[in-house]
Amino acid sequence: MNVLVINAGSSSLKYQLIDLTTQEVHAKGNCERIGIEGSFITHSEHGGETERTPAPFPTHRDASEYVLDLITGLGLSIDGIGHRVVQGGWYFPKSVVVDDEVLAKVREVAPLAPLHNYVEADVVDAMRAAMPEVGNVVVCDTSFHYSMPETSWRYALPRDVCDRLHIRKYGAHGTSHRYIWRATNEFTHGETHKLISLHLGSGSSLCAIEDGKSMDTTMGLTPLDGLIMGTRTGTVDPATVFYLERVGGYTVDEVDTMMNKQSGLLALSGISSDTRDIEAGAEKGDENCIIALEMFGYRTAQLTLEMAQAMEGFDTMAFSAGIGENSPLCREKICERLAWQGVRIDKEKNAVRSGEVRDITGEGSSVRVLVVPTNEELMIAYDVQELLG
Ligand code: AMP
């Protein structure tokens, strides 16, 4: 079965055509700068070289039609289409096959993720129009966290306000955390029961997963909450917002931009949101880079234990995403701070680079520590197979 997986971001559209029988990726690419001057596409086929071609993408619809032309040109069947949707709101505890009602709901909850849901719905629309005979499935990043107990998802705000405005913890990265659980469980032959999944990338979140169920997660109503991220603050005292507006004279939009795009590791290091640059800066003795890495390690360790409380313990930690998979230094900094809990990693194993699931647990460790490359696209494709296969 060949599944086309589409991941539409605010100004990008990533895609993969995956053969689920062999797990081969027949083609993949990314349309970038959609709606911005200088838009282009990067595309590769059968693991070959990536070609970059300028292409006009005034809208996500244009980009998706362009992608469909490329993919149909391969002469392979498309047996189902899976769409990543960032926010499922209060509607989607599971992935679903798209009909008009589903699409209306994706748009209805869009005020919770306005940069994503509207364009994602447009792309689903375009695919349905272009290939009416092929089924579409939406896979929401929030669905996995539906299993959280009320003690995790409810906010201590007035009930009527929460009910009217649907305010609660939704979490994010659910598709990734679900994949990380699946891959971890496979690797440990079912020995994992209480997993801390650490999705550490340009956006980062932790998830407490007990026997496959999300019990708590660090992102909240929006993906701004929790860990220190590339350009996002993570958790700060909410009153900081009022103070910035009342005393600092910033508008709501300016605070939004500051907290989402100008904060996090970028603000701390003063040079970059990319941990590769920050690690290089720290190596040269840059004090701001050193504190940025220390704070990242401290906050991640701190929230790891917050997640552990949701399960009253943990037996496995799984590092994933750009930083979690590729930065031995960040893994070491996080685990060092958890040494008092008995967490140990093996220095040599931690230094190994590979695309495989690997065990980096040190001798005498209280928990198993793994590196688990995430694969949200494959998870989405599995859902399509389950619902349409
Ligand atoms: P993601 O959002 O999962 O694609 O992660 C992207 C981030 O991963 C980048 O912004 C970097 O901060 C980080 N990253 C990627 N490769 C490395 C590496 N080799 N060492 C340290 N950090 C890395």
Check if the beta carbon of residue 183 is closer than 8 Å to that of residue 357.
yes
154-179: burial string, b at 16+ Cβ within 10 Å, e else = eeeeeeeeeeeeebbbbbbbbbbbbb
Q: Which of 121, 140, 159 is the last residue of a domain?
A: 140
Together in a domain, 55 and 204: no
Q: Which amino acid is at 200?
A: L
Write out residues in the chain with pLDDT < 50, as ranges: none
275 domain-assigned: yes
- Whether residue 158 is contained in a domain is answered as no
Alpha-carbon separation of residue 201 from 79, 145, 265, 334 (angstroms): 31, 19, 11, 14
Question: Residue 91 has what pLDDT?
Answer: 94
Give 267-270 contacts, CB < 8 A, sequence gap 24+.
Answer: 267/231, 268/228, 268/292, 268/295
With contact defined as beta carbons under 8 Å apart, do 314 and 192 qualify?
no
**In sequence order, what are the beta bridge partners of 17?**
4, 27
What pLDDT score does 114 carry?
86
Cα dihedral angle (337, 342, 347, 348), rounded to 10 degrees?
-150
- Enter the tokens of residue 86: 């960032």
Q: 136 and 200, same structural domain?
A: no
CA-199 nearest atom, ligand 1: 3
Total count of domains within the chain? 2
201 and 269 together in one domain: yes
Catalytic residue among 62, 122, 125, 141: 141
95 lines ligand 1 (CB under 6 A): no
Same domain, 359 and 231: yes
Residue 185 covered by a domain: no
What DSSP character marks residue 30? E
With a 6 A CB cut-off, is 245 part of the ligand 1 pocket?
no
Does one domain contain both 42 and 126?
A: yes
Rounded Cα distance between 214 and 57, Å, is 37
Q: Do 133 and 202 have their domain in common? A: no
Token duo for residue 11: 């100004």
Ligand 1 centre and the CA of 326: distance in Å? 7
Please report whether residue 162 resides in a domain: no
Cα radius of gyration rounded to whole Å, the chain: 21
pLDDT tens-digit readout, 110-157: 999 888 899 999 999 999 999 999 999 999 999 999 999 999 999 999
pTM of the full structure: 0.95
What is the 132 CA–ligand 1 centroid distance (Å)?
38
Q: Is residue 164 one of the residues assigned to a domain?
A: no
Same domain, 93 and 239: no
Four-residue CA torsion sign, 292, 294, 298, 301? positive
Cβ distance 135 to 97 under 8 Å?
yes
Flag whether 157 is in a domain.
no
Bridge partners, 19 (sequence order):
2, 24
- The residue range of the domain holding 223 is 190-371
Distance CA 245, CA 269 (A): 25
Q: Is residue 19 among the annotated active site residues? A: no
The pLDDT value given to residue 115: 84
Structure token pair of residue 72: 């149909």
Q: 207 and 308 in one domain?
A: yes
Q: Which two tokens stand for residue 273?
A: 């949101």
Q: How many CB atoms lie within 10 A of CB 298?
A: 15
Instruction: Tell me, yes or no, whether 215 and 345 share the same domain.
Output: yes
Percent of the chain with pLDDT over 90: 96
Residue 149 lies in a domain: no
CATH assignment at residue 367: 3.30.420.40
Same domain, 201 and 77: no
Looking at the structure, tell me whether residues 200 and 322 fall in a common domain: yes
Q: 304 lies in a domain? A: yes
Determine if ligand 1 sits within 6 Å of the CB of residue 347: no
Question: DSSP string of 286-308?
Answer: -HHHHHHHHHHHHHHHHHHHHHH
* Alpha carbon distances (Å) from 46 to 14, 42, 244: 16, 14, 51
Backbone φ and ψ for 44, nearest 5 degrees, come out as -140, 155
What's the N-to-C CA distance of the chain in angstroms?
Answer: 7
Within 8 A by CB and 6+ apart from 78, the residues are 2, 3, 4, 17, 71, 72, 131, 134
208 and 136 both lie in a single domain: no
